[in-house]
Amino acid sequence: MHEHYQPREIEAAAQAFWDARKSFEVSEEPGKPTYYCLSMFPYPSGKLHMGHVRNYTIGDVIARYQRMLGKNVLQPMGWDAFGMPAENAAMKNNVAPAKWTYENIAYMKTQLKSLGLAIDWSREVTTCKPDYYRWEQWLFTRLFEKGVIYRKNGTVNWDPVDQTVLANEQVIDGRGWRSGAVIEKREIPMYYFKITAYAEELLQGLDDLPGWPEQVKTMQRNWIGKSKGMEVRFPYHQPSIGEDGVLKVFTTRPDTLMGATYVAVAAEHPLATLAAQDDAELQAFIAECKAGSVAEADMATQEKKGRATSLFVEHPLTGEKLPVWVANYVLMHYGDGAVMAVPAHDERDFEFASKYNLPIKAVVRTSAGDETPAPWQAAYGEHGQLINSGEFDGLDFEGAFDAMEVALLKKNLGQSRVQYRLRDWGISRQRYWGCPIPIIHCDGCGDVPVPEDQLPVVLPEDVVPDGAGSPLARLPEFYECTCPRCGQAARRETDTMDTFVESSWYFARYASPHYEGGMVDPAAANHWLPVDQYIGGIEHAILHLLYARFFHKLMRDEGLVTSSEPFTNLLTQGMVIAETYYRTEANGGKTWFNPADVDLERDAKAKVIRATLRSDGQPVEIGGTEKMSKSKNNGVDPQSMIDQFGADTCRLFMMFASPPDMSAEWSDAGVEGANRFLRRVWRLAQAHVAQGIPGPLQVTGLNDGQKVVRRAIHLAIRQAGQDVGQHHKFNTAIAQVMTLMNVLEKAPQVDEQDRALLHEGLEAVTLLLAPITPHLSHELWQRLGHAEPVIDAAWPKHDESALVQDTLTLVIQVNGKLRGQIDMPADASREDIEAAARSNENVLRFTEGQTIRKVIVVPGKLVNIVAN
């Protein structure tokens, strides 16, 4: 054993040992409890960042800990390998996305391996490989036949210069990110997953996930957005346009029906088209609305604009004529694409009515009173008693809801309805680097799914996209085909799937990654699923997790899995944050400097008082801690940290910095501290084993000092076990080990029992650190004389008898001031303690000439004597 801690050697040896033994390859072992620990797989962007390191370290620590609890632990890893960055890199560097992606994967895999993760690499899954996406295509064809996937027109952002469809995030201020051209909206055919058919189940299922953070469940509930309301129908007779009909609206406030003063429809609404027939101005307005952004968030915040039409509808209860407006704040794809406007109680309607001088009629008595004057007050949106509503006056919200429904039903002009905000999931992308949609378009047969024996539809991997539309649409050898149904010449679909589709089922594929007989081997999938612990970033709280839950139910309904939810417990890890430094340039812009290039000056309390750039010695501003990012230039490269200090130091630092769900602040001092601590552990162990392995510990013959040391060992074991087992609080568990180390370093080494005791202590340190610093623990465990590797050791259990104290030290106070201490037998009575305290010489000194009024005994802690 080297005298000094040499992480490079230790880590290489431990990793080689695990590789050679295939230590983390698992198979189904009936009867042994399983534990499926999964961290969200990475996008192969090029190299790991600190967020990855944190995510995978947390997952690994949990996986290793569960293994020590005796479980059969599955921890797989793979690559979320399709996506736009590969296309962008391809265009920039003129390399095929496939090549770029595979090279990144190869490099990042070496990085992950250097972290010493207990991963079963035999199960590696790469989503851009045909053996993976083949099953995605297979499921697609099944769902298409079932009607769970269907085709309809969808609106996309069209870049007229690049002749391509853009994602919302590629449209900046209404212009294409590359071309700068004004973006148009286009309607094109797309494929949709009918996720809305599962809306209620996706909502209800959240109630059965006690292991998920409340915050994530709330975000999902809001996204699904169930609202109970009323469908109200407004009849219209328009002889001028030869149309009679009803305008359907959805409202969550039927109690305000008597306050409706106009109706408004979306620009895409058929009634808007009808009204614009002979109205050039309205046509122009509709065209303007259609050209705007397709992002819902933009629609909500943009300035409210509208145009009156010549049309009127009838109020369903009063028959009053209400004007029809076309308004940009009404969304076509929500509810019925039309609203009954109640300016007195809805802020958007209020803003609109104020702008266009439409009547405002208050019909609810709110805490703001009976009137609705400008400006808008939040109180106007409250529920309250109805006023100005004829027969409905005096009813409260619920009463009015029911009464309005009765009145509407009588006229057949409305009924209550449940409505979801959730939309069907459009998965067509006009991109190259994605999973081909397995559909063949035939003039005679229509959309024909590719038959199972012709799957997979392989994506050619040698293509370099140029940004001008999808390359697949220009590759006849890809799209030319024959119809599987009639044998006529046909055209293959050239759109690919949204990359969220691949990440919606990878967790299931890991159970049988090489299975050729189907998407998953049901036996294996049901053996491992659901995932016991899923770990990843909060940025995936909504879409990824919702889609994965949806897919799990689709797979269940295909008979592939028996469970309904994929992830029993979810841990959303906090961000890695770091200090930022900048200078403001003459043009007002900021230049950000990497913390590694900045020197700090601190005051006596270690508070930073000055920061200077090392290269020029001039000051820089301190910008506060922020999430590590390229834009703030405050990232720390994990690889250089691993190279410098070793993986165990990085892992220890990450786990010690904060609990997994809180943000962790990067600090060089913290990393150095973690490294120093590991060197201390090494030094103590080294000095100990250099003198040989001691004989067994004789628990019964320990002297008082030895009992104190042994108590510290077992306290640490108990506390660390609780911290880790209950809330994954590895940071406080590490603090326990540090406290124990302080005791062990000071423990006298006089006789053989002292050495045996230190041996027990070092074993505890090694085991408690094993999930966190696995390489160091691997080495130490051998040195401490164990033939079996530490990964196969059990998590330590404390010895209750070691915690029992023979004597307790009590603090003595006189009138609240600390005056001394006494040692008492642990089972001493109150009377004995009081008597001993009264006769303590310090007490006598400080109470001399006074009368003792009261003696307060807090057992195990203190005695306070009140005297005057």
Q: Which is nearer to Zn ion, 96 or 442 (CB)?
A: 442
Applying CB under 6 A, the span of 52-60, 329-337, 724-732, 830-838 interacting with ligand ANZ comes to: 329-337
Q: Which is nearer to Zn ion, 351 or 447 (CB)?
A: 447
Of 39, 101, 157, 256, the one binding ligand ANZ (CB under 6 A) is 256
Tokens of 60: 């690994």
Tokens of 24: 């983390």
CB atoms within 10 A of CB 701: 8
CB atoms within 10 A of CB 242: 7
Q: Which is nearer to ligand ANZ, 261 or 430 (CB)?
A: 261
Tokens of 459: 């994506």
Question: Least Å distance between CB 451 and Zn ion?
Answer: 12
Q: H or E segment at 187?
A: strand 184-193
Q: Which is nearer to Zn ion, 447 or 637 (CB)?
A: 447
Cα 527 to Cα 525: distance, rounded to the nearest angstrom? 5
Q: Which is nearer to Zn ion, 363 or 483 (CB)?
A: 483
Cα 500 to Cα 98: distance, rounded to the nearest angstrom? 18
Q: Which is nearer to ligand ANZ, 354 or 594 (CB)?
A: 354
Taking a C-beta distance cutoff of 8 angstroms, is the pair 496, 460 a contact?
no
The alpha carbon dihedral of 402, 408, 409, 410 has a sign of positive
Instruction: Assess 98 for contact with ligand ANZ (CB under 6 A).
Output: no
Annotate each residue in 474-503 with x if it binds ligand ANZ (CB under 6 A) or - if it does not, as one string: ------------------------------
Site for ligand ANZ in 786-825 (CB under 6 A): none
Taking a C-beta distance cutoff of 8 angstroms, is the pair 536, 58 a contact?
no
Taking a C-beta distance cutoff of 8 angstroms, is the pair 244, 224 a contact?
no
Of 71, 38, 72, which is closest to residue 56 (Cα–Cα)? 38
Instruction: Assess 176 for contact with ligand ANZ (CB under 6 A).
Output: no
Of 164, 147, 61, 77, which is closest to residue 112 (Cα–Cα)? 77
Question: Least Å distance between CB 375 and ligand ANZ?
Answer: 17
Residue 688 binds which entry of Zn ion, ligand ANZ, none, CB below 5-8 Å type-dependent: none
Q: How far apart are the first and last CA of the chain?
A: 64
Q: Which is nearer to Zn ion, 75 or 141 (CB)?
A: 141
- Amino acid at site 675: N
Instruction: Assess 160 for contact with Zn ion (CB under 5 A).
Output: no
Binding-residue total with ligand ANZ (CB under 6 A)? 17
Residue 649 binds which entry of ligand ANZ, Zn ion, none, CB below 5-8 Å type-dependent: none
Does 630 count as an annotated binding residue? Answer: yes
Residue 340 binds which entry of ligand ANZ, Zn ion, none, CB below 5-8 Å type-dependent: ligand ANZ
Question: Least Å distance between CB 261 and ligand ANZ?
Answer: 11
Instruction: Assess 690 for contact with Zn ion (CB under 5 A).
Output: no
Q: Which is nearer to ligand ANZ, 315 or 345 (CB)?
A: 345
Tokens of 110: 């070496």
Cα 554 to Cα 129: distance, rounded to the nearest angstrom? 22
Q: Which is nearer to ligand ANZ, 154 or 522 (CB)?
A: 154
Q: Which is nearer to Zn ion, 284 or 489 (CB)?
A: 489
Question: Least Å distance between CB 260 and ligand ANZ?
Answer: 7
Q: What are phi and psi for residue 856, nearest 5 degrees?
A: -105, 125
Instruction: Assess 262 for contact with ligand ANZ (CB under 6 A).
Output: no
Residue 714 binds which entry of Zn ion, ligand ANZ, none, CB below 5-8 Å type-dependent: none
One-character DSSP codes across 193-223: E-GGGGHHHHHHHGGG-TBS-HHHHHHHHHH
Residue 444 binds which entry of ligand ANZ, Zn ion, none, CB below 5-8 Å type-dependent: Zn ion
Site for ligand ANZ in 334-373 (CB under 6 A): 334-335, 337, 339-340, 342, 345-346
Binding-residue total with Zn ion (CB under 5 A)? 6
Tokens of 582: 């900048």
Instruction: Assess 261 for contact with ligand ANZ (CB under 6 A).
Output: no
Residue 227 binds which entry of Zn ion, ligand ANZ, none, CB below 5-8 Å type-dependent: ligand ANZ
Helix ranges restricted to H, 27-129 = 50-68, 84-93, 97-114
Backbone conformation region of residue 403, classed left if phi is above 0, alpha if psi is from -120 to 50, else beta: alpha
Question: Least Å distance between CB 444 and ligand ANZ?
Answer: 39
Tokens of 162: 């690049």
Of 616, 501, 505, which is closest to residue 558 (Cα–Cα)? 505
Instruction: Assess 489 for contact with Zn ion (CB under 5 A).
Output: no
Q: Which is nearer to ligand ANZ, 346 or 495 (CB)?
A: 346
Residue 485 binds which entry of ligand ANZ, Zn ion, none, CB below 5-8 Å type-dependent: Zn ion
Q: H or E segment at 145?
A: helix 130-146
Instruction: Assess 814 for contact with Zn ion (CB under 5 A).
Output: no
**What is the signed CA dihedral for 414, 415, 416, 419, rounded to 10 degrees?**
-60
Question: Least Å distance between CB 449 and Zn ion?
Answer: 12
Residue 491 binds which entry of Zn ion, ligand ANZ, none, CB below 5-8 Å type-dependent: none
Helix ranges restricted to H, 582-703 = 638-645, 647-657, 668-689
Of 71, 253, 553, 775, the one binding ligand ANZ (CB under 6 A) is 253
Annotate each residue in 212-241 with x if it binds ligand ANZ (CB under 6 A) or - if it does not, as one string: ---------------x--------------
Instruction: Assess 431 for contact with ligand ANZ (CB under 6 A).
Output: no
Q: Is 582 exposed, middle or buried (0-12, 13-18, 19+ CB in 10 A)?
A: middle
**Which residues are 811's β-sheet partners?**
821, 862
Cα 405 to Cα 253: distance, rounded to the nearest angstrom? 12
Residue 541 binds which entry of ligand ANZ, Zn ion, none, CB below 5-8 Å type-dependent: none
Of 69, 172, 486, 858, the one binding Zn ion (CB under 5 A) is 486
Annotate each residue in 369-408 with x if it binds ligand ANZ (CB under 6 A) or - if it does not, as one string: ----------------------------------------
Site for Zn ion in 438-467 (CB under 5 A): 442, 444-445
Cα 244 to Cα 236: distance, rounded to the nearest angstrom? 6
One-character DSSP codes across 353-364: HHHHT------E
Of 433, 434, 424, which is closest to residue 502 (Cα–Cα)? 434
Question: Least Å distance between CB 151 and Zn ion?
Answer: 16
Instruction: Assess 306 for contact with ligand ANZ (CB under 6 A).
Output: no
Q: Which is nearer to ligand ANZ, 345 or 540 (CB)?
A: 345
* Orientation of helix 647-657 relative to helix 668-689, angle to 10°: 120
Of 450, 517, 518, which is closest to residue 484 (Cα–Cα)? 450
Of 290, 361, 485, 680, the one binding Zn ion (CB under 5 A) is 485
- Amino acid at site 488: Q
- Amino acid at site 338: A
DSSP state of 773: S
DSSP state of 529: P
Instruction: Assess 294 for contact with Zn ion (CB under 5 A).
Output: no
Residue with tokens 């890809």: 478
Of 322, 337, 346, which is closest to residue 272 (Cα–Cα)? 337
Q: Which is nearer to Zn ion, 446 or 785 (CB)?
A: 446
Instruction: Assess 251 for contact with ligand ANZ (CB under 6 A).
Output: yes
Tokens of 506: 């990878």
Q: Which is nearer to ligand ANZ, 75 or 251 (CB)?
A: 251
Binding stretches for ligand ANZ (CB under 6 A) = 227, 250-253, 256, 330-331, 334-335, 337, 339-340, 342, 345-346, 419
Q: Which residues bind Zn ion (CB under 5 A)?
A: 442, 444-445, 483, 485-486
Annotated binding-site positions: 630
> What are the binding residues for ATP?
630
